[in-house]
Amino acid sequence: MQYKNNFDFLRLLAAFMVLFSHQFALLGRPQPVLDSNLELGALGVSIFFSISGYLVVQSWQRDPNLIRFALKRFLRIWPGLFVVTTLAAFVVGPIVSELEVSEYFQDSLVVRYMDNLRLRMNYQLPGVFVNNPFPNAVNGSTWTIPIEVRWYVYLAIAGALTLVGRRHIVLLAVIAFVIYHFGIYGAETNPNRVPNREYGLYFCFGALMGLYRDKWKSQRLAWAALIALAGISTYFMGQQLLGTLVTLAPLTVMLGDASTTFLRRFGRFGDLSYGVYIYAFVVQQTLVWYFGAELSFAAHFTMATAITLGFAWLSWHLVEKPVLAFKSAAPSSQRMAWF
């Protein structure tokens, strides 16, 4: 099999940025920050959303069918989420809970936790991780999944209205979105962060890169230099969030779409990034529960990395890849706009 781009590497890097950042919080330590507005983990999530927007808009362009588009997104997100949620509730929970097993399963929190499968995210299970430095949270990474799905829906609506095919309208809409978020709402200084908009902008920028791919692909380095100059200038003019957005989203896509001999070979192990993202928090919390926070950061991080990679590998080869094979086998039409 030929691995043609660097996206597998970048997604895995983003997942480990989140894992690394969370390791601090789960041991009761301050998370690493790049500036007053941006944590390392948030940067990793931003990379995910940038790549997602780029790839998903091209998926719609290849097959503009609402039902198949929804099915593809469902099969990419839900099976892995189902397995990790079920394992947390019915295997990890009873083992680590302070309650007796019978009490544990009688508690309504177990049923509420399974609402995660309907994207109504709950983070607590009865008696689980109550004495950890970061108490009660079972899987604190999954809160971004409903945001991701929400932007899939927005993209599908835009596609159904034939707006995706009119990229200049999309560009104007994203510019208006940026003006509202940073100009009217004042995102740089407003203490009330709005994750749906913040990460949605990365998704939108990634989608724009997909829509205008023919304009920049043949002159990648020149465009990358221009974008970096604009973004860095914006950053040092006091607009850190906007500067990061303008720089990170396009450059992530450009690097991911490139084919670097060493980086593209990460794909030979499978796409482990989603598995790393959804399993890491549970693994880390369980290790803190078992070994305590007194064990060194390096030991916790090393064990969490190894175990999480194992679960991610199993998730990819036993759950995600077989399901995606079904997705690939689904029939598609060349020009169907709705059904």
Render pLDDT for 56-89 as a digit per residue (tens, 0 to 9). Answer: 999 999 999 999 999 999 999 999 999 999 999 9
Would you give the end-to-end CA distance of the chain in angstroms? Answer: 32
Which residue is listed with tokens 């895995």? 12
CA dihedral 297, 299, 301, 303 (to 10 degrees): -160
What is the predicted pLDDT for the residue at 308? 98
What is the predicted pLDDT for the residue at 334? 40
Q: CA–CA separation, 195 vs 197, rounded Å?
A: 5
Report the pLDDT averaged over residues 223-246: 92
- How many alpha carbons fall within 13 Å on the CB side of residue 181? 20
What is the predicted pLDDT for the residue at 179? 94
What is the predicted pLDDT for the residue at 226? 92
Please name the residues in contact with 46: beta carbons below 8 A apart, sequence gap of 6 or more: 199, 202, 244, 245, 248, 249
Q: CA–CA separation, 278 vs 315, rounded Å?
A: 10
Q: CA–CA separation, 185 vs 150, rounded Å?
A: 21
- pTM here is 0.92
pLDDT band at residue 193 using 50, 70 and 90 as cut-offs: confident
What is the predicted pLDDT for the residue at 338? 28
Q: CA–CA separation, 18 vs 140, rounded Å?
A: 11
Q: Residue 334 corresponds to which amino acid?
A: Q
Residue with the bigger pLDDT between 85 and 337: it is: 85
Q: CA–CA separation, 92 vs 297, rounded Å?
A: 22
What is the predicted pLDDT for the residue at 88? 98
What is the predicted pLDDT for the residue at 337? 32
Quick one: which of 339, 320, 276 has its CA closest to 20? 276
